[in-house]
Structure 1
């Protein structure tokens, strides 16, 4: 099939593109610049230059494809500080919702599938694919997909683990590494028994492809390999690799990242594994973090 992928040069999107191409599918990827898209071209993908603000470009590309995978999300808020980071996040969430509506609108009245991307933040510990999204969540990716599905669009959501890890990771774990270096301690909140889920980026990419190949029959898929890793254990590995003490700290220590650092984001992926015959094969979160290469950025 011909798949249009947004965020095609990103951490997850690039892995999805490679996985789709290896499986014999055709891919068109959205990239903000041709310089960023060199890898896509070399791999055999077609590239459309544009951003999430180019709604006409998105609509046209989606209309020309057999399926769409939407992974792009503006993560500039990660590099902001204080309240400004939350404002940036809200702006990114609103932009994401607009894009999903445009992509789904291109498919109304037809059958091609649309996979959008969300996370586990705000969901209860042990959440399954059957649980509904948190209506209070400021990120509306899944809510937008469900609205489209109610209108007859074959739209579904892949919920990613909070740590989509691998060498070269520039997501949430590197935020913790940077904070540990800046403060001289690898910290956890309270007793550190809140849990994060994890998945290697290559395993996550396969969830998207397998869901597309099966026809997107479910409203939600979980890209979760390690279902519940205690946060204190994550901090312990980071501390060992950086030769820093590992200690409890109040939420204020984490600044804008406090909500994520103290969150319980553990999820089951049993239904996804059975449905898609998905068997994660990459290293687990703690094993991956226990490599010196994780700390070279």
Structure 2
């Protein structure tokens, strides 16, 4: 297949590009800078210059491809990040690509997250964000994409674990390590029993490829290798590698200690991958999160 990939030079997207190329597919990646374009060329992919604010360009690239994998999202982890605006921009991209693919039966895979679902229990691929919840804002992109199955698009949503880990990760775990260094201790909220799912970057990329190749139209898939790791276990490994103590903080202290991450560190969001395994021949084989932390590469800078 000729696959158009947005977010093609990001942490997950670049792994997806490599996975697709290694499987014999052709890839065209969206690049908005010379640096991104050079990285795609070096990887063996073609380049489509543009960005998410260019609907005509996105539609053209999507229509000329056999499949689309949408992994770009406006990530700005500053204090004034407008999450709702970023979600609205993402929804516009999905609507644009969906219109370009309508009636083609082409695969269209988008990115979402398991942490958007109601916590406190093991959620499945059949669960959706609760009405009026924080997750529903981001979930509009997913529901729009899934609904494209009724318009002749083989759409699917890959819900990534809150922790997609591996060499080069600058996501949540990397941030937690930085906060521990700054504060002088690794913290968890309350008893730290709240659980986070995790998946290695290579396993996540393989799932995206399998979804493009054969996911059922309108399906929701869970890029989850570990159903839920107690947060205190993550904090404990971080503390040991940094030679720092581990401390419990009260929920009301989370925002002051973790900044904007204070809204997510206490979430209990375990997730199942049972249906994903049933629908696709996906068997995670990468290292688990705590094993990956023990490798030491997260602590080298």
Same fold (TM over 0.5): yes
**Alignment-derived partner of residue 207 in structure 1:** 207
Please, which runs of 5 or more residues in structure 1 have no aligned partner? none
Out of 276-285 and 251-260, give the one that drifted further. 251-260
Alignment of 1:47-196 (within 5 A): 47-76=47-76, 78=77, 80-81=78-79, 84-85=80-81, 88-124=82-118, 125-135=121-131, 136=133, 137=135, 138-139=137-138, 140-196=140-196
**Alignment-derived partner of residue 32 in structure 2:** 32
- State the alpha-carbon separation in 2 of the partners of residues 3 and 294 from structure 1: 32
- State the alpha-carbon separation in 1 of the partners of residues 125 and 202 from structure 2: 20
**Contact 1:133 1:143 (C-alpha < 8 Å) held by counterparts:** no
- State the alpha-carbon separation in 1 of the partners of residues 218 and 85 from structure 2: 29
Q: How far did residue 62 of structure 1 move?
A: 0.3
**Contact 1:224 1:267 (C-alpha < 8 Å) held by counterparts:** yes
- State the alpha-carbon separation in 1 of the partners of residues 185 and 258 from structure 2: 11
- RMSD between aligned residues: 1.4
Q: Aligned to 1:289, which of 287, 293, 296?
A: 293
Q: Aligned to 2:275, which of 271, 276, 287?
A: 271
Q: How far did residue 215 of structure 1 move?
A: 4.8
**Alignment-derived partner of residue 260 in structure 2:** 256
- State the alpha-carbon separation in 2 of the partners of residues 55 and 18 from structure 1: 26
Please, which runs of 5 or more residues in structure 2 have no aligned partner? none
Q: How far did residue 218 of structure 1 move?
A: 4.9
Out of 206-215 and 230-239, give the one that drifted further. 206-215
**Contact 1:133 1:142 (C-alpha < 8 Å) held by counterparts:** no
Q: How far did residue 210 of structure 1 move?
A: 0.8
Out of 258-267 and 196-205, give the one that drifted further. 258-267
Distance 1:189 1:207, change over 3 A: same
Q: How far did residue 146 of structure 1 move?
A: 2.6
* Runs ≥4 residues deviating over 6 A: none
Deviations 1:200-233 (A, max 9, x none): 0010000011111115445111110011100000
Q: How far did residue 141 of structure 1 move?
A: 2.2
Deviations 1:232-265 (A, max 9, x none): 0011111111111111113232221112101112
Q: Does 1:227 align with 2:227?
A: yes
**Contact 1:67 1:212 (C-alpha < 8 Å) held by counterparts:** yes
**Contact 1:100 1:144 (C-alpha < 8 Å) held by counterparts:** yes
Structure 2 counterpart SS, 1:115: strand
- State the alpha-carbon separation in 2 of the partners of residues 67 and 176 from structure 1: 36
- State the alpha-carbon separation in 1 of the partners of residues 178 and 96 from structure 2: 36
- State the alpha-carbon separation in 1 of the partners of residues 110 and 74 from structure 2: 14
Out of 207-216 and 219-228, give the one that drifted further. 207-216
